[in-house]
Amino acid sequence: MGRWQANGLMLLAAVIWGSAFVGQVQGMEGVGPLAFTGLRFLLGAAVVAPLAWLEWRRLSAGGRPPGVREWRHVGLLGALLTAGVVMQQIGLTATTVTHAGFLTALYVPLVPLIAWLVHRESPDWTVWPAALGCLAGTWLLAGGGSLATMEIGSGDAWVIASSLPWAFHVLWVGRVANRMQGAYLLACTQFLVCGVAASVLGLALEPLSWDGIRIAGGAIAYTGILSVGVAYTLQVIGQRHAPPADAAILLSSETLFAALFGAWLMGDRLGPAGLAGCATILASILLVQLHPLLTAARR
């Protein structure tokens, strides 16, 4: 596969992820955030299951099946995924698709900061201005003005909080996948953990009916099959054949596509301060992702 073909796959994954924010909002017209999360991740696990089964057979035939330690790590990743997705989904009940798309991306500068605090891995210097830039962008999205008049709604607060488990998940998922040597097996299992956990909580805490599932069925199918199942597979295939810098730019465009689909399908509109906030967050994300890659390439 050539570089441009791989880039096309990753761009398509970013388009799907950006558009899925709309589906996540529309799906809650029939079911609650926990039930919606559980159903779509169970569906996503089913999509990836055939690839996971092939990897399991390959690892078992090679005498390298995952052990108890690896499964514990996968369980932790599933719990982090559940926390991040559920908080984001709850946030979408009280914020716009555009806000959620950009605020979710706050996990990007958090990853190297957490790696520094937890694993003592020295971050690139760009982490510090990027973190400040994300704070400034969030302030602008909240309307700017003085701290006393700054308004962060409950939905925005939930989405901002979701960036912490997302950051831990992104930090550790690559390590666990390399240890298991089975990305699809890891993906399917963590999707299954998330789907079961959110479904159980949804049955216990939310009203659920067949009519509600029918109303949300289209959104569950789109976000489960395409966003969870297909887009992840496209990302894995694309990143095998594309330079890291290409992947960083293309996958970060998810935030832009979320804003575009929010404006097109949900009628989201931002004022000058909001647009400046989105631009500041996006610039900070690209800075923290691209500078280390470009520095390594020059060396």
Summarised one tens digit per residue, pLDDT across range 267-278 is 888 788 888 888
Residue 199 has pLDDT above 90, yes or no: yes
| DSSP 3-state percent helix, strand, coil across the chain (nearest 5) | 80, 0, 20
| Cα–Cα distance measured from residue 120 to residue 279, given in angstroms and rounded to the nearest whole number | 31
245: confidence class by pLDDT, cuts 50, 70, 90: low
Residue 171, both tokens: 């930090």
How large is the angle between the packed helices 33-61 and 231-241, nearest 10 degrees?
Answer: 50
Mean pLDDT of 99-126: 84
Which of 181 and 193 is assigned the larger pLDDT?
Answer: 193
pLDDT one-digit tens code per residue, 115-125: 888 888 787 78
* Residue 105, phi then psi, degrees to nearest 5: -70, 0
Domain ranges (residues) in the chain: 96-151+269-299
Can you tell me the mean pLDDT for 180-198? 90
pLDDT at 150 over 70: no
- 85 pLDDT band (50/70/90 cuts)? very high
**DSSP letter assigned to residue 147:** T
Average pLDDT for 254-273: 85
- Angle 70-232-49 from CA coordinates, rounded to 5°: 60
pLDDT of residue 148: 47
pLDDT score recorded for residue 152: 73
Q: With beta carbons less than 8 A apart as the criterion, state whether 133 and 289 touch.
A: no
> Would you say 90 and 202 are in contact if contact means Cβ atoms under 8 Å apart?
no
The answer to whether the beta carbons of residues 16 and 226 sit under 8 Å apart is yes
Cβ of 180: how many Cβ atoms within 10 Å? 21
152-156, 223-227, 286-290: least confident range: 286-290
∠ CA 181-185-120, nearest 5°, is: 55
pTM: 0.86
CB burial class (10 A; 0-12, 13-18, 19+) of residue 245?
middle
- Burial class for 9, CB neighbours closer than 10 Å (0-12, 13-18, 19+): buried
Distance CA 88, CA 4 (A): 32
More confident residue, 250 or 280: 280
Residue 149 has pLDDT above 60, yes or no: no
Comparison of pLDDT for 231 and 182, the residue scoring more = 231
Do 5 and 241 touch, CB atoms closer than 8 A?
yes
Whole-number average pLDDT of the chain = 85
What does the alpha-carbon distance between residue 268 and residue 262 come to, in Å, rounded to a whole number? 5
pLDDT tens, residue by residue, 13-47: 889 998 999 999 999 999 999 999 999 999 999 99
Distance CA(132)–CA(128), nearest Å, equals 6
Average pLDDT over residues 168-176: 83
Under a CB-based contact definition with an 8 Å cutoff, are residues 193 and 81 in contact? yes
